Chains A and B, each alone.
Chain A
Amino acid sequence: MEPSIKYPIYEWELLQDTYYQKSAIGKAEWEYIDPVDFMFAVAPCGGAIAITRSESNLQSNYKYDQVPMYSICVFCLSGQLLQTLTWDKTSLVGMGWNENEELIVVSKQGQVRVYNLLGEFHQFSLGKGVENIGIRECQFSEGGVFALLQNDTFISITGFEEPWRKTYASIPFNTLEYYNIDSWALIPNPFSPDLGMDIVVTVGPHILQIDEQDSQLHSISSLQHVSHISISPNARYLALYESVGKVRVISSDFSKELLDLRLPETVAEASLKQMAWCGNDAVVLVHENLLTLVGPFGGSVPYLYNHTPIVSTEVDGVRILTKDSSEFLRKVPAPLENIFHIGSKTPGAKLVEAFQKMKLKSVFAEKMLLELKDELHDAVDTCVQASLNEFSIEWQKVLLEAASLGKNSLRMYNHQEYVDVCRELRVLNAARDPNVGIYITHEEYLHLGLERLIQRFSCRQLYGLAVQASMWMQIPCDWVYIQWAQTYIKQSSEPEEVVLDNIVKRLSSRKYISYEKIARTAYQEGRLILSTKLLDFEPLAKHQVMLLLNMEAYEQALKKVIETMDNNLIIYVVLQIKQQMAIASFFQILNEYPDAVKVYVEFAKKNDRKTLHDFFYQDDNKQGIAVLAVEDTLKTATVNQRITSLKSAAKVCSESKELSLEEKCLGDEIKLLQLQQTYEDQFTGNFVGLTVNEVVVKLIQINQTQRANKLRSDFQIPEKRFAWLKLRALVAIRDWVQIEQWAGSMRRSPIGFEPFVTEILSAGNKKEAAKYIPRCTQLTTQEKVDMWVQVGDVKSASEEAAKSKSGSVLGDLLERVQTMPESRFVQNALDQLRR
């Protein structure tokens, strides 16, 4: 036995057959404030305590001066002042905490504020009706405020982000005729828990349950005047205190009475200050300096205090706060009782004893370990669980080391579970440190959740601890850095460059952190330059862009969105800017970003040509305007519309020397369209919309050669092209005579005579095509021979081939035509050559 460690059982009290433990968890220093003298609220799961003056002590005297007027002081359970909240000069009716450790403050006029630990708040009203009536009392449940109004009716508000109000049925008039409302509590709706809470009210000796539609009177035998009512944390039991000094516990569905205890006369004579549940199976009563623990089977344990305590229920016990102490009273957790009960022979107890003997190098240690045999696994589990429930760090070590000794002897044990427990203990012990002051038990930890516990560290500006705990538990912690930066921006009065430097330096180790929320906070605090610079560090470009738009930092938004290379986002940003800005400013900013211009131009050509035209105009972009103008001509549907449009486009081009060729081309098109109209009047057939070439072909085909020649000079058609057009036109109408006359009139054709052969041959007239082969003076002999063969004139082919005096040419020809009767000509020529 190590005398330096106090054995846990010394703190235990036996109440019938159950042990209860009251632990002093720290010396409280409420800065000389006695909480009992003030209105107070204690946050669940070891959270903060809020203290303020109630209406009864608004007058100034030495006793109350520690809490300033119209202020709410917030302490942690070790007594450190966390924050002083400022309240308007109105009467408070109640305060409560939600599980995010936000303080909800309700005034008599129905004003509700929700504060965080930084002192920030948002507020809303319970409504005009409530303002007129006034609130008498209020209570709080998770996510809601419940109020008893001065006219004896109840309302509730749930969901503080978007408050939703509910009105409860009235208490029957005859019930209130002779008695007043003495106490009330919240109880889950028995039929539909999702519908929210019902209210249980005691009116003299009567108990009623009220929901939105109805109120129901419950009958309890021999019930006398009830001054206090309290519901257990699991909402399964109701505790009633009758003013004659009797405590009753019934099930919350009123079907069963579980306890009926009359207190001793000396206790009952004092007035009851508080009644609260200790976990789900015991009730504590506070009469002046006496705290009485009432067990589930009627026994009781008294605790006497120097100062009147205040109590607050937890899921697994009750917190007891006095002027100079902070304590926690609970039923002893099973694993701890299993091991530390006097004379305990459980496997866990044996394992601890074996470990202690081993440390003393006792020869009996090994023997005890061996004796455990099949119970060793159970022993290890018990020690591990006990360590989680133990407050003393020294005993935690003993328990964990005993467990480690045991598990190393086991072949199949999940070591990860042991590691996880060690991690959880690190977090819990860190929270319980007096400098932190969150005296949370393991069960409360499970109830609250790890994320919310770490959130509490962050809200207390214990950022280092929040990060450390996140790392221990291997969960993301970037949000802690973000919260730190946000708070730093709000509270700092340093120059912006200093703030920026400090934030970037601190956050540079976080490779993937998002700066968007931090930048947004800076913007909301009016630090525009800081906000813009912080956004440069935001890795998600879209976040940057959205916030910059929100900040009306249009130029920066445009610059950033271009980097995304996302055309949809670019167009979105440009359109947003266009909506917000004067058109001249919009153009000015757009001009600075050619990449955005490129995207916008493509978009606006289809969807906003008017603005695009103005944009080009202000930039003196004549080519851009010209392109728009020419594009507009394509959309016209009638000749006259097109001519008008073309004239407009030509005028635009005339204003720029670089566009002179375009201007001429458009002028030609106008001239062409006008001619086409004339031709359609004069001749049958369609001319409108044809190209220059097509018109020439058509004119020649209808025997208007003179007009075709005029087009040739008017539109400066090159000689070669004109010749091709004429040939193609005449072939199409099979005018072989005119082709022959035309060919005869030329000594030399601009395109040679090969096209004559090929085009006429394509039209299927071999005889006519043959006429022009002799005039193909630029062809090789082989090419001419090929042509003669194609038109079917083998005799001429052989004559042509013979001119070359080449046996190979004649030989090839003979091979090609040897199946034809005319092949004899080739044979003769070949024979002639060989002779």
Chain B
Amino acid sequence: MTTDVKEKATFKLLDLIDSVTGKKSLLLERDLSGILGQIVTTNTLQEHGIPQVYWFNENIPNDIEKKTIYLCRPTYENAKLVATHVRQFQRDMLRIESTVIVLPTSNILFETVLQEEGVFGELLVTEWPLHAVPLDKDLLSLELGPEKLEESLLQRSTDALIDFERTHGRFPRVSGRGPYAAKMLELLEKTYQEEATINFGKVEGEISALYDSVLLVDRSLDRITPFLTQLTYFGFLDEILGIQQMNVKLPSSLVNRNEASNTGPMKKFSLSSSSSQITKEIRDINFNCIGPYLSKIARKLSSDFEGRRQAKTVNQIRDFVSKLGSLQSEHTSLNIHTGLAETLVQHTKNNYFQKLLQLQHLLVSHADSFTQFNLLDEIIYAEAPVEEVFRVLCLASITTNGLRRKDIDHYRREITQTYGYYHLLTFQALIDAGLLRLRQSTNISLQKSLSYSTWLNTYPLVKDEVDEQNPEDIAYTYSGYGPLSVHIAYDILKGRDNEEKILKLQNMPGTYVDKWTLDQEKVMPKNLKTNVPGKRRVLVFFIGGCTYTELAAFRLLQEKEDLYEFTFMTTGMVTGSSLIRAFIPNIESLNE
């Protein structure tokens, strides 16, 4: 399904590149390098006349070609930077022909700045309308980065969703909960209304025969889940090593090992499920079970290789040889996964990790606060990464309905002395964003109704006994905590057609939205006719990002209940640390 999206994006980009004839240089915004790598290879770029790719920054390469292509987001800063380049070309009397490819669409601010800088006439501005990058067969991401949750995400989310609808048809139904979900639905309707105005009442596109509905998951309702340490294999990989556009950077120890074993250097490893059957099987497994599972796979591969000795006849030999390629590829994949798993295991043995898990569990279980902060002090003394400390503080702020002033002050001192004075700014930014809150002495009843304890009482978020080996409950993703976001979303999915449950859905915290694109009666019969009986396809859209554990939870529900088939679209993949990093300022290193 997402393969067409990728092919389409590739063709479009190469079309844009080929519209600039001859040899040219590509100046690439650093943040887009992962997306570009997902779509085309370096070899492909060379075949299309781009021998060299440079980072797009203040420095202009000396050996730049006579034609240049800038690939960047259409931001104010990038417009200024392009203008600086063009004026420098003019000062140097260089006849550089410049083209700007913006991802995904241009905007009035970007173009106005270019005009005001006097360079708009010197440029060709084109659009590469790739709104969502396919990361896996069932996963698309807008790749908006670890941005703060704010309303500007909604515009781009709406654009991406409408772009998806142009290919797959309009969703018959939109459901969700939360302020951002409600606003996004409103924006969706408004955008279609605007399109109808432009087209004199004609709205393009038919109702999708493929999708039952889109389910909006609002990150603002569940700020807890990202701040917990993910414990599925992919989730833990993202926490420890970082996953970028479904690629993981291999630790140097693994690279060295592979070089020694003559498999060639592999700096990056693709985690896409289409690249390896093993990857697909182990991606959502609880990390505690990864070792035994990999051992089992290793034994199976060995027995498959034994097939060589069993091959007696020509046909049997031919069968084995045809399997050999995939066997070798799976073997390579297994080696890498084993190495990655070992790296992750080493991380669990450091002097703060277990304390961190323990503290997180205490917080989501609503235990007493004194023990919590003793543990956090010890984590700081162990010099855990500052992101981990802030994650715990945010988590505590949410679960305990705000921190006491003296506790915040205590940790401001601890953190600034241990990690640097500039984290005063981090504290302030988190407070401004509402992720860190001071406990208020007034409005107690209102705050209680909106607090974490309400959700704790509504859904079985915490389970003490979880079967990680053969999970029955989504709490396996965190070894005892099931993502609140998934509980909320799945509750809507199961309850939205039930008269009694609808009333309950409407009375829960956060705005409940459920909107049919056309009259319900017109959509249902058609839907029932075309869909596979019993299996309904739902696009789950995460506003404000999602974690790999949340995907794993949905996939578990999909597999266990066999009622739905999920496709995921998200503004970006997040971890608690990536969210925190968006609030940490950069500090210049000092010279004498």
A637, CB-defined interface residue at 8 Å: yes
A244, CB-defined interface residue at 8 Å: no
Q: Which of B107, B194, B417, B588 contacts A717 (CB 8 A)?
A: B417
Question: Do B421 and A668 have beta carbons less than 8 Å apart?
Answer: yes
Q: How far is the CA of A669 from the CA of B381 in the complex (A)?
A: 20
B585, CB-defined interface residue at 8 Å: yes
Interface centre among B74, B197, B201, B587 (most CB of A within 10 A): B197
Contact residues, A477-532 vs B (CB, 8 A): 478, 511-514
Chain A contacts for B592, CB-based, 8 A:
638-639, 680, 688
B530, CB-defined interface residue at 8 Å: no
**Which of these binds chain A: B62-70, B147-155, B228-236?**
B147-155
Chain B contacts for A680, CB-based, 8 A:
592
Question: Do B108 and A568 have beta carbons less than 8 Å apart?
Answer: yes
Q: How far is the CA of A782 from the CA of B343 in the complex (A)?
A: 28
Contact residues, A627-663 vs B (CB, 8 A): 627, 630-631, 633-639, 642, 661-662
B509, CB-defined interface residue at 8 Å: no
B187, CB-defined interface residue at 8 Å: yes
Q: Which of A607, A636, A721 contacts B588 (CB 8 A)?
A: A636
Task: Give A602-613 as 1s and 0s: 1 = Cβ < 8 Å from B's Cβ atoms.
Answer: 010011000000
Contact residues, B397-430 vs A (CB, 8 A): 409, 412-414, 416-422, 424-425, 428
A476, CB-defined interface residue at 8 Å: yes
Question: Do B155 and A567 have beta carbons less than 8 Å apart?
Answer: yes
- Given known A-B contacts A512-B200, A623-B428, A665-B424, A568 and B109 have beta carbons under 8 A apart: yes
Chain B contacts for A662, CB-based, 8 A:
424
Question: Do A566 and B421 have beta carbons less than 8 Å apart?
Answer: no
Q: How far is the CA of A564 from the CA of B420 in the complex (A)?
A: 39
Question: Do A607 and B197 have beta carbons less than 8 Å apart?
Answer: no
- Given known A-B contacts A512-B197, A540-B194, A568-B110, A627 and B428 have beta carbons under 8 A apart: yes
A724, CB-defined interface residue at 8 Å: yes
Q: How far is the CA of A689 from the CA of B420 in the complex (A)?
A: 9
B589, CB-defined interface residue at 8 Å: yes
Q: Which of A599, A633, A720 contacts B377 (CB 8 A)?
A: A720
The residue in chain A whose Cβ has the minimal distance to the Cβ of B184 is: A565
Interface centre among A564, A567, A637 (most CB of B within 10 A): A567
- Given known A-B contacts A693-B417, A717-B417, A639 and B590 have beta carbons under 8 A apart: yes
Contact residues, A558-611 vs B (CB, 8 A): 564-569, 571-572, 575, 595, 598-599, 603, 606-607
Task: Give A703-734 as 1s and 0s: 1 = Cβ < 8 Å from B's Cβ atoms.
Answer: 00000000000011110110010000000000
B193, CB-defined interface residue at 8 Å: yes
B88, CB-defined interface residue at 8 Å: no
Q: How far is the CA of A623 from the CA of B198 in the complex (A)?
A: 46
Question: Do B381 and A720 have beta carbons less than 8 Å apart?
Answer: yes
B586 to A: closest C-beta gap in Å: 7
Q: How far is the CA of A681 from the CA of B589 in the complex (A)?
A: 19
Contact residues, B191-213 vs A (CB, 8 A): 193-194, 196-198, 200-201
The residue in chain B whose Cβ has the minimal distance to the Cβ of A476 is: B200
Question: Do A691 and B418 have beta carbons less than 8 Å apart?
Answer: yes
Q: How far is the CA of A688 from the CA of B587 in the complex (A)?
A: 14
B43 to A: closest C-beta gap in Å: 35
Question: Do B201 and A565 have beta carbons less than 8 Å apart?
Answer: no
B591, CB-defined interface residue at 8 Å: yes
A758, CB-defined interface residue at 8 Å: yes
A757 to B: closest C-beta gap in Å: 12
Chain B contacts for A724, CB-based, 8 A:
381
Q: Which of A513, A569, A688, A751 contacts B107 (CB 8 A)?
A: A569
Chain B contacts for A302, CB-based, 8 A:
none
Q: Which of B200, B419, B586, B591 contacts A638 (CB 8 A)?
A: B591
Interface size class of A (residues with CB under 8 A): 35 or more
Question: Do B424 and A572 have beta carbons less than 8 Å apart?
Answer: no
Question: Do A634 and B588 have beta carbons less than 8 Å apart?
Answer: yes
A539, CB-defined interface residue at 8 Å: yes
Question: Do B591 and A637 have beta carbons less than 8 Å apart?
Answer: yes
A666, CB-defined interface residue at 8 Å: yes
Q: How far is the CA of A751 from the CA of B380 in the complex (A)?
A: 13
Question: Do B112 and A669 have beta carbons less than 8 Å apart?
Answer: no
B190, CB-defined interface residue at 8 Å: yes
Question: Do B201 and A568 have beta carbons less than 8 Å apart?
Answer: no
A632 to B: closest C-beta gap in Å: 11
Chain B contacts for A720, CB-based, 8 A:
377, 381
A541, CB-defined interface residue at 8 Å: yes
A692, CB-defined interface residue at 8 Å: yes
Question: Do B417 and A692 have beta carbons less than 8 Å apart?
Answer: yes
B288, CB-defined interface residue at 8 Å: no
The residue in chain B whose Cβ has the minimal distance to the Cβ of A511 is: B201
A256 to B: closest C-beta gap in Å: 50
Chain A contacts for B152, CB-based, 8 A:
565-567, 599
B249, CB-defined interface residue at 8 Å: no
Q: How far is the CA of A637 from the CA of B381 in the complex (A)?
A: 29
B358, CB-defined interface residue at 8 Å: no
A679 to B: closest C-beta gap in Å: 13
Chain A contacts for B80, CB-based, 8 A:
607
B423 to A: closest C-beta gap in Å: 10
A684 to B: closest C-beta gap in Å: 14
Q: How far is the CA of A564 from the CA of B198 in the complex (A)?
A: 17
Q: How far is the CA of A273 from the CA of B108 in the complex (A)?
A: 61
Q: How far is the CA of A569 from the CA of B110 in the complex (A)?
A: 10
B76, CB-defined interface residue at 8 Å: yes
Chain B contacts for A568, CB-based, 8 A:
74, 107-110
Chain B contacts for A637, CB-based, 8 A:
588, 590-591
Question: Do A715 and B417 have beta carbons less than 8 Å apart?
Answer: yes
Chain A contacts for B414, CB-based, 8 A:
718, 721
Q: How far is the CA of A197 from the CA of B417 in the complex (A)?
A: 86
B559, CB-defined interface residue at 8 Å: no
The residue in chain B whose Cβ has the minimal distance to the Cβ of A510 is: B201
B183, CB-defined interface residue at 8 Å: yes
Chain B contacts for A566, CB-based, 8 A:
107, 152, 155
Q: How far is the CA of A606 from the CA of B80 in the complex (A)?
A: 12
Question: Do B109 and A572 have beta carbons less than 8 Å apart?
Answer: yes
Chain A contacts for B381, CB-based, 8 A:
720-721, 724, 751
Q: Which of B198, B351, B409, B425 contacts A631 (CB 8 A)?
A: B425
Question: Do A666 and B421 have beta carbons less than 8 Å apart?
Answer: yes
B237 to A: closest C-beta gap in Å: 25
Q: How far is the CA of A571 from the CA of B152 in the complex (A)?
A: 11
Chain A contacts for B590, CB-based, 8 A:
636-639, 642, 688-689
Question: Do B417 and A631 have beta carbons less than 8 Å apart?
Answer: no
B77, CB-defined interface residue at 8 Å: yes
A563 to B: closest C-beta gap in Å: 9
Question: Do A634 and B585 have beta carbons less than 8 Å apart?
Answer: yes
Q: How far is the CA of A669 from the CA of B417 in the complex (A)?
A: 9
Chain B contacts for A595, CB-based, 8 A:
151
- Given known A-B contacts A540-B194, A603-B76, A607-B76, A565 and B420 have beta carbons under 8 A apart: no
Q: How far is the CA of A511 from the CA of B417 in the complex (A)?
A: 62
Chain A contacts for B150, CB-based, 8 A:
567, 598
Chain A contacts for B428, CB-based, 8 A:
623, 627
Chain B contacts for A669, CB-based, 8 A:
416, 421
Chain B contacts for A607, CB-based, 8 A:
76-77, 80
Q: How far is the CA of A381 from the CA of B588 in the complex (A)?
A: 85
Question: Do A565 and B197 have beta carbons less than 8 Å apart?
Answer: no
A–B pairs, 30, beta carbons within 8 Å: A478-B200, A513-B197, A514-B197, A539-B194, A539-B197, A565-B152, A566-B107, A569-B107, A569-B109, A572-B108, A572-B109, A598-B150, A607-B76, A607-B77, A623-B428, A631-B425, A634-B585, A634-B586, A638-B591, A639-B591, A661-B413, A665-B421, A680-B592, A688-B592, A689-B590, A691-B416, A691-B419, A693-B417, A693-B418, A758-B351
Using A568-B110, A627-B428 as known contacts, list a sample of 11 further A-B pairs with CB atoms less than 8 Å apart, ordered by residue number in A. A513-B197, A514-B197, A539-B194, A565-B187, A568-B74, A575-B109, A634-B586, A634-B587, A635-B588, A692-B418, A721-B418
**Residues in chain B within 8 A of chain A (CB atoms):** 74, 76-77, 80, 107-110, 112, 150-152, 154-155, 183, 187, 190, 193-194, 196-198, 200-201, 351, 377, 380-381, 383, 409, 412-414, 416-422, 424-425, 428, 585-592
